[in-house]
Structure 1
Amino acid sequence: MDLLHEDTRKLFFKYLLPSISATLVTSIYVLADTIMIGKGVGPRGIAALNLILPVFNLFFGTGLLLGVGGAVLMSVANGSGDRKLANRYFTHSVIASSVIAILYMVIGSIFLEPLGYALGCTKENIILFTSYGKYLVNFCPIFVFSSLLQAFVRNDGAPKTAMVAVITGGVTNIILDYIFIFDFNMGMAGGAIATVLGSTLSVGILLTHFLSHHNKMRLMKEKWNWEIMRRILHSGLPSFLIEIASGIVVLLFNLQLLKYIGEVGVVVYSIIANSAIVAMSLFNGVSQGAQPIMATNYGARQLERVANVRRLGAITAFVIGLVIFLLGALYPDITVALFVNPTSEILTLARDAIRLYFVAFLMMSLNIFYSTYFQSVLRPKISLIICLLRGIVICVILVFILPIWLGVTGIWLVMPITELITVIIAMLLVKTKKI
């Protein structure tokens, strides 16, 4: 694909399906575990799994920090014709990811149980938490490199390879989930092992790109350069914050729901949180599909082509958000039944919660896309502002204030209000910050 000369609409849709498929199937790793554990272990299992989601967000977000951060800069460097600089970004990203993943693995293995209590576990579900968590932390490098390599392989002109890798791993995960949880009766540990094996397969397929003659990425022998590393972190920080913010939101919601309702609230929120993972993966898919085209053309200073892709991406993301909102608003009972065999208490609470929370997806679609757009045109500070507003600043304030006034309803309204305020600011920034 010629990112600098082919029709932008055709390019966008060539990247769209592979990118959405890759990001969507990534979410299936967590989603399949949730559904299988909800059906095979029960509501308490799904609550324990929801408590460990912030750890998964950290691992995957670290891969995005160094993967998207380095891949964006690699694309800009390739667009400007500097292949050596592009490979320097790749090399530094790989080395940094390796070191950080090993640190996570060691620290997580030693402090897994205290971490569980810090995330909201009780004595009743800490065993369920650690049964799953020990596999997650011991195989941390697999999860980090899965998201890292997806970004680089996609930006190196091989979105279909990234798609095949993640789809194959995701399907494998689903099949093994069923076998380990239901046939072998392995419970939480079975779900975790299936996720590890599926992710390992994805990484293996992604690595085959380096045997292809289309591969342009090379590891370089050179001294460590902190300026290169600073640029990567600066570029990738918004993607990291999108993922980490999701973990922070899950943590705060869990703590507030335990306070106001109890474990049943966490069960209902786990259903919503996993629906949000799917929605975010779709929005990220649109964003990551547009990102290589925007970044490469920005590097070549073909700004009209960048603007064309930005408009296409924003419209596509919003339409997807609208469809998800309508499905949740019209069929909340079906959403619940996908995850657990609901009691009347769970069903009653979930109906209103889903209808309120799903409004957020309308605005979230644009917020995630515009954040990626500003990354692609080397405006990471603006992207960072959007991420901080929707993921931390506004959300953290509202999750403590609204329940005081509105009770449990206030908790479900936190994200719609957060995303609405953020999208207004994001659209003003797009209008005023010309590239």
Structure 2
Amino acid sequence: MKTAELDLLHDKMSTLFRGYAIPGIVASLSMCLYGIINGLILGRFVGPNALAAVNMASPIFNIISCIGILIAIGGNTLTAISLGEGNKEKANHYFNNAFYCLLAIAVVIFVSVVFFPELLARMVGANTVIFPMVVDYIQTFGIFVIPVIFNIFLGISLQSIGQPQLYMVGNMLMVVINIILDLIFVYVFKMGIFGAALASGISATIVFILFITKFVRKDSPLRIGKCKADFKAIGLMAYNGSSEAITQFSVGFSFMIFNWILISKFGEIGVSAFAVVQYISLIVTAVIMGISRGIGAITSVNYGAKQYSRIKELIAFAIKVVTSVGVVSTAMLLIFKSPLIAVFVKDNLDVILTSQEIITFYSFNFIFVGVNIVINVFYTAINNPRTSAILAILRYVLLIGGFFVLPLMMGNIGLWLSFVVAEIMCMVVSFIYYKKTTLKWR
């Protein structure tokens, strides 16, 4: 598939932002629809317990994939900076070391999820009601964990060579295939949570095949081929990608703790209610993540070329956009929370009421989360993993602390507001770091 390449060093920043942000948003929305469609179909045709099971299983994939993301993000940052320096040989050296290292990691992850699903289900705290569903989802989706992980790596690599459109097309294709297979497996053949996991895995595998064909072509700036193992380079990748890995691990770990709290206080009703909120919130998060991930490659290439003024222009614009998206999204969630919840749950009053309460407070989180994500991506993109890691750790330490402290002062409302308070506090620190960094570029 032939797509136009963008010039990351010379095109206007407004053109690059549109060229990367729009495909990034569409790709992220496609990935979130990937989850929402599963949730909608499972909630409607299997039941709220199926939603709870997927929500319980999700932290497992966040945590075990963090090592893969460590190499995927770190490797592509070094690759993109090398491309910005005009050194394609060095860029391919980093790319191929990252590819083969990631392949080895993905195999280990595959073995873990396919052969030990019961152990993992116990780790996330699944109770006897949803335990079989959690095991079924982990094991089935785990079969496809290799293409799922590589889609992240290859998608970011497509952005580094100026082809974000292909990443967007691939993710849109994945959603279409997933919808069709979901309806066939879950609705027609009544395969339940197994069918939903199977549909997701097959669609991800088809897109993996589409992506990888781009990197075996002779005319590709980055091409899969033989390379000399460079453990120093792999170490640099791991170091640079550490903040993203910490973020991914922290997301899984914090939500695992949150699920433990929910299931102990509210039972599966609480987990089901929060799952509904998460499905609704996926759309907002996808837009913000699409914008943020889209600017990563632009920042890295321009940093390699020492075009600092272009980077500051890009980040300032991105922060304005994600904040505006957050304000509008919060307002929309507060106004339309009841009909949105009704899409997923139709006849369970306890789940509906709990979901409404969570959204009332949790939705304010989106006003602030975008700034933290943009600045974190910025530090990873300029090869400053130390600062990125500090901000990532701080964000989730504050969040987990809030889970235990705020409910003592405010009851259940404090639990839902933990997300908002953590984002506000981290945003203040993130701005301080960002200002100090950019002042040195004068």
TM-score, normalization by structure 2: 0.94
Shifted more, 323-332 versus 357-366: the winner is 323-332
For residues 74 and 419 of structure 1, the distance between their equivalents in structure 2, rounded to whole angstroms, comes to 31
Q: Aligned equivalents of 1:33 and 1:338: distance in 2?
A: 12
Deviations 1:159-197 (A, max 9, x none): 111111111011111221122111111000110010011
Amino acid at match of 2:169: V
Paired residue type of 1:247: G
Indicate the SS of the match to 2:215.
helix
Separation of aligned partners in 1, 2:347 and 2:205: 33
Whether the 8 Å contact between 1:59 and 1:144 is mirrored in structure 2 is: no
Stretches of structure 1 lacking an aligned partner (at least 5 in a row): none
Match of 1:180 among 182, 185, 190: 185
Conserved in 2, the CA contact under 8 Å of 1:260 and 1:408? no
Aligned partners of 1:384 and 1:214: how far apart in 2? 36
Aligned 8 A contact 1:71 1:90 in 2: yes
1:2 is aligned, of 1, 7, 26, to: 7
After TM superposition, the structure 1 = structure 2 runs for residues 103-142 of structure 1, keeping only pairs within 5 Å, are 103-142=108-147
* Alignment match, 1:66: 71
1:245-304 CA distances to partner (integer Å, 9 max, x unpaired)?
221222111111112222111111111223343333222210121111111111111111
Distance 1:164 1:313, change over 3 A: same
Match in the other structure for 1:196: 201
Q: In structure 1, what is the equivalent of residue 317 of structure 2?
A: 312
Alignment of 1:11-410 (within 5 A): 11-58=16-63, 60-210=65-215, 215-390=220-395, 392-410=396-414
- 2:170 and 2:21 map into 1 onto residues whose CA distance is 16
Q: Secondary structure at the match of 1:433?
A: helix
Please give the alpha-carbon distance, in whole angstroms, between the structure 2 residues aligned to 1:279 and 1:163.
17
Using a 3 Å threshold, how does the CA distance of structure 1 residues 109 and 120 change in structure 2: closer, same or farther?
Answer: same
Give the match for residue 432 of structure 1: 436
Task: Tell me, yes or no, if the aligned pair for 1:59 and 1:140 is still in contact at 8 Å.
Answer: no
Work out whether residues 67 and 93 of structure 1, in 8 Å CA contact, stay in contact via their aligned partners in 2.
Answer: yes
The 1:281–1:60 alpha-carbon spacing in structure 2 relative to 1, beyond 3 Å, is farther
Structure 2: unaligned runs, 5 residues or longer: 1-5
How many residues align structurally?
A: 434
Change in CA separation of 1:60 and 1:342 when aligned onto 2, cut-off 3 Å = farther
Distance in 2 (CA, whole Å) between partners of 1:255 and 1:68 is: 30
What SS does the corresponding residue of 1:122 show, helix, strand or coil? coil
Distance in 1 between residues matched to 2:88 and 2:303, nearest whole Å: 16
What amino acid sits opposite 1:45 in the alignment? A
Aligned residues with identical type, % of pairs: 26
Please give the secondary structure, in 2, of the residue aligned with 1:358.
helix
Residues 141-174 of structure 1, C-alpha deviation per residue, up to 9 Å, x if partnerless? 1211111111111211111111111110111112
Q: TM-score, length-normalised on structure 1?
A: 0.96
Does the 8 Å CA contact 1:142/1:203 hold for their aligned counterparts?
yes
Amino acid at match of 2:407: P
How far 1:54 sits from its partner (Å)?
0.9
Instruction: Quickly say closer, same or farther: Cα 1:154–1:10, change in 2 above 3 A.
Output: same
- Whether the aligned pair in 2 keeps the contact of 1:71 and 1:155 (CA below 8 Å) is yes
**1:322-344 per-position Cα deviation (integer Å, ceiling 9, x unaligned):** 22211111111122122222422
Instruction: Give the counterpart letter for 2:161 in structure 1.
Output: D
Opposite residue 173 of structure 1, the aligned amino acid is N
Q: Does structure 1 residue 421 correspond to structure 2 residue 425?
A: yes
How far did residue 60 of structure 1 move? Answer: 4.9
Residue range with higher mean Cα deviation, 190-199 or 200-209: 200-209
Deviation of 1:62 (Å): 4.1
Q: Aligned partner of 2:37: which letter?
A: A
The CA distance in 2 between the partners of 1:65 and 1:277, in whole Å, is 23
State the alpha-carbon separation in 2 of the partners of residues 61 and 422 from structure 1: 21
Question: Deviation at 1:59?
Answer: 5.2
Q: Is the 8 A contact 1:60 1:147 kept in 2?
A: no
Judging changes above 3 Å, is the alpha-carbon distance between structure 1 residues 61 and 163 closer, same or farther for their aligned structure 2 residues? Answer: farther
- Alpha-carbon contact 2:55-2:275 (below 8 Å) kept: yes
Q: Distance in 2 between matches of 1:151 and 1:61?
A: 15
